[in-house]
Structure 1
């Protein structure tokens, strides 16, 4: 009945009192061993535990954030590298196409020159050289 005497001043419903009996007995056991120090020590320990838990969770969040940022940067670098490779391929293909086109154009000009020289004869060589740039 010590339980009833110590907690009778606390206003509480009967059902709530039934739910809290086990906690009350635990609390009473702690206060009987060390009336003042145990309660304060338990509260301090509980506060320390909560603080450590908050710090631990904060560090975990920071670590996850750093990892997420690192992954984003890696993906960004990979995309940049893919883009550079793509641009290099396009540039190289364009240069190759231009070189092939230049070669075909030179061959065609040589062919034109041969045809014009053949049609006009040797004396028309000067006229052919003047005529070709106009084309």
Structure 2
């Protein structure tokens, strides 16, 4: 009689139910087992799908983190190169200023030397002309 309770949901007439015995319902049990297996298979597929989705999300997050770290490294490299360039430019400017200052100093000395020479020559000429006047 348990088969009556088990298979009550199957649409059939009362007379047909009386004629059928439990063995007649065996094929329904098989289909029920396959339905359970399909449900279990679907659950396994769903679990696999979730696992794959989680794996894809995890890999995507890893790629994003790698991209962020790569961008940070690039930015740090750019800052370092810019700082090196600024230092290089400052050194060049400093050396050029020193070179110009040295040139200016040499030019002043040369001009002083020229004035002394001109004064001496004009002094000799003035003395020579003064001697001829006397």
Fold-level match, TM-score > 0.5? yes
TM-score normalised by the chain length of structure 1 = 0.63
Residue 52 of structure 2 is aligned to residue 68 of structure 1: no
Residue 113 of structure 1 corresponds to 111
User: Cα distance, 1:37 vs. partner?
Assistant: 3.5
TM-score normalised by the chain length of structure 2 = 0.63
Greater RCO, CA 8 A, separation 6+: 2
* Structure 1: tracts of 5 or more residues without a match: 1-30, 125-135
Residue 38 of structure 2 corresponds to 40
Higher radius of gyration, 1 or 2: 2
- How do 1:88-103 residues align onto structure 2 when only pairs under 5 Å count? 88-103=86-101
Give deviations 1:49-104, integer Å, cap 9, x for gaps. 01001101111111111111111111111111110000000001111111111111
SS in 1 for 2:33: coil
User: Cα distance, 1:36 vs. partner?
Assistant: 3.8
Cα separation, 2, equivalents of 1:55 and 1:39: 24
User: Cα distance, 1:44 vs. partner?
Assistant: 1.0
Cα separation, 2, equivalents of 1:122 and 1:85: 55
Extract structure 1 runs of 4+ deviating beyond 6 A: none
CA RMSD of aligned residues (A): 2.0
SS in 2 for 1:121: helix
**Matched residues, number:** 93
